[in-house]
Structure 1
Amino acid sequence: MDTRRLQLLLALSRLGSMRAVAESHHLTTSTVSAQIAALARETGTRLIEPDGRRVRLTPAGRRLADHAVEILAAVDAARLDLDPDADPAGTLRVGGFATGIRVSLLPILTELTRRHPAIDVVISEYEPIEAFAMLVDDDLDLALTYDYNLAPASLNPVLEAVALWSTAWGLGVPTDEPEGPVDLASYADRTWIVNSRNTADEDAVRTLGAMAGFTPRIAHQIDSLDLVEELIVAGYGVGLLPRDRPTSDGVKVLRLTDPTVVLTAYAVTRAGRSTWPPLRAVVDRLRPGADDLPQPAWPRPQARR
């Protein structure tokens, strides 16, 4: 069974049209159709059927697409694991959110480069939604991502994640706000600030509001924690901030208790790829050494999310 044809079938199950598969793989639509037809002959099973002016997978086609996830991951693992004891060498493409890069990746790079000079690490900043899509498309080797306990991420079956660290978040407010337990209902008429390129912040904020009996009025979408603080100081709203991260003058972070809000950071890879020596060298150093997830040591100057 040709693995390239399995890749095209899997892409069709996700993208929904021959044209979309052709564009994503830089092929013609007729080539994609011919390859899937050849796969059907190989398996002796009808894999697609007409659906109006398009096509859709038959039940057998859907089952084969499900198997393709595991088959392709196993092929990747076999290919990359041919020489697991070789010195790590190659270009490792890492993408992630800014705090994850600062807290988890940067502290290990100097020692990694010294021990494995043949590894070339290329770093790009992406929010989790962006990084997940790039991993699925094989445009990244490693993603540093996060989610909240109130808004857990849903991983594509071709991905696998290792939890790195967790930290409690609270409500960022001006320093003249009252101390003590937070009554979220008292913030029902306030403007809220969330992340601009990921939905997890907004999902967590809306869940908090719903549990307190109101719908948050979200007006500002900001990626930088520093800028979130500046907006809070200027009176433009309130937002979630890490409780253990040093804040600037004019901002404090109130404890949330019912419910708590916890952010967890992850190292995410394609299934079957973690044995590739350059990737394994990095992930092994990122992986926490204890059963309980550590909290991050926030760097100075103040981090961005």
Structure 2
Amino acid sequence: MDLTRLRLLVELERLGTMGAVSEATGMGTSAISKHLAVLEREAGVRLLTPSGRRVRLTPAGHRLAEHAVGILARVEAAQAEMAGEGPPAGRVDLVTFISMAVPVVLPTLTRLRREHPGIEVRLIEHEPDQALELLRGGGADLGLVYEYSLVPRQVPEDITLHRIGSEPLLLVQSSENATGRRTMTRERLRGLSDAFWIANSRGSDEDELVRRMCATAGFRPLIRHRIDNLEAVSALAAAGWGVGLLPKLAATPRRRGVTHTPLGDLAGVRRIYLAARTGAWAWRPLRTLADSLRRTARGVLDPPDADDAL
């Protein structure tokens, strides 16, 4: 199969329309269509199907595009090795959850713009479930996702994770009702059996974590509020409307009127991962961005175990 045609297929999966591929490659849409028609004959399967006035990839087209990413990455690596390493260039769509954006992502982008100006990064905000679906569907190239150590996440087989660190979990509550700032014990947690709890509305893992944690203290929590904005969670806690969990990074800076109590082993930790389709890791712009995110994370997160390193 011709590498140019494979590149066009990959770009169509990434960008979604012939017009966008034409703009990105400088090739006319008619020429692109002819190349993809030849690629279909070479593959022996239907790769494209009409969708209104546009076209979209068939399941076979998506699968071939996944293979093509790995093929093109290996060809690029071989060419770079033979000709001498050149600067990486290309657009990487990065999906991240909000509490990583300021302490990890933004410093990374600042450094990347200085060290690798040929790499363009587009940011998308989503929680892990939606981020993994976006990665699988080609709507993003690289993701930052998390899981709670007490509630491991099910990851699709075609996605590979690399852990870059972890952070402890804290109980956020009104300072007027605070049980103290020393690490929480089961006995002190049992004192919150009548409290209203605050959880998010974008996934069930936080609910499960709160239930498992409270079960060790002998009660079932009453989850009354569902708030996705972490700053708003702190505001509600400060006003005495409930208690909730916050990862350490989301608890900084500290809001007046709230107390953050370390939960220790009662809640475990939140593990942070880089995620991408398995065949995409060899693509140099993605790999360069991933390495830069790892460097930033070292100064922000607790280090990963040695066998989790990228």
* TM-score where L is the length of structure 2: 0.68
Q: How many residues align?
A: 236
Q: Does 1:247 align with 2:240?
A: no
Query: Quick one: structure 1 residues 257 and 112, their matched pair in 2 at CA, closer, same or farther if it must change by over 3 Å?
Result: closer
Secondary structure (helix, strand or coil) at the match of 2:266 reads coil
**1:82 lines up with 2:89 in the alignment:** no
Of 260-269 and 127-136, more deviation after overlay is shown by 260-269
SS at match of 1:187: coil
Q: In structure 2, how many angstroms separate the alpha carbons of the residues matched to 1:257 and 1:143?
A: 27
Write the distance in 1 (CA, Å) between the matches of 2:100 and 2:247: 13
Q: Does 1:225 align with 2:227?
A: no
Contact 2:108 / 2:296 at 8 angstroms: preserved in 1? no
Q: Which residue does 2:179 correspond to in 1? A: 178
Give runs of aligned pairs for residues 152-167 of structure 1, distance below 5 A: 152-167=152-167
Equivalent residues of 1:164, 1:288 under 8 A apart? no
1:282 to 273, 280, 289: 289
Given that 2:168 and 2:264 are in contact with CA atoms closer than 8 Å, whether structure 1 keeps it comes out as no
Give distance in 2, aligned partners of 1:232 and 1:287.
Answer: 33
Maintained 8 Å contact 1:192/1:216: yes
Consecutive unaligned residues of structure 1, counting only runs of 5 or more, are 5-24, 29-34, 40-67, 298-305
Q: Report % sequence identity.
A: 31
Normalised by the length of structure 1, the TM-score is: 0.69
Aligned partners of 2:122, 2:141: CA distance in 1, in Å?
10
- TM-aligned CA deviation for residue 264 of structure 1: 1.4
Aligned to 1:122: 122
Aligned CA distance change for structure 1 residues 113 and 98 (closer, same or farther; 3 Å): same
Structure 2 counterpart of 1:148: 148
Per-residue CA distance 1:11-37 (angstroms, 9 max, x = gap): xxxxxxxxxxxxxx8558xxxxxx99x
User: Which runs of no fewer than 5 residues in structure 2 stay unpaired?
Assistant: 1-5, 7-47, 52-57, 81-85, 303-310
More helix by share: 2
Which residue in the other structure is 1:197 paired with?
202
Q: Does residue 1:267 correspond to 2:274, yes or no? A: yes
Q: CA deviation at 1:268?
A: 0.5
AA matched with 1:158: D
Shift of 1:243: 4.2
For 1:126-137, list aligned pairs within 5 A. 126-137=126-137
Q: CA deviation at 1:101?
A: 2.2
Which digits, 9 at most, give the CA deviation of each residue in 1:40-67, with x for residues without a partner? xxxxxxxxxxxxxxxxxxxxxxxxxxxx
Q: How far 1:231 sits from its partner (Å)?
A: 0.3
* 2:146 and 2:270 in contact (8 A); partners too: yes
- The residue identity in structure 2 corresponding to 1:104 is V
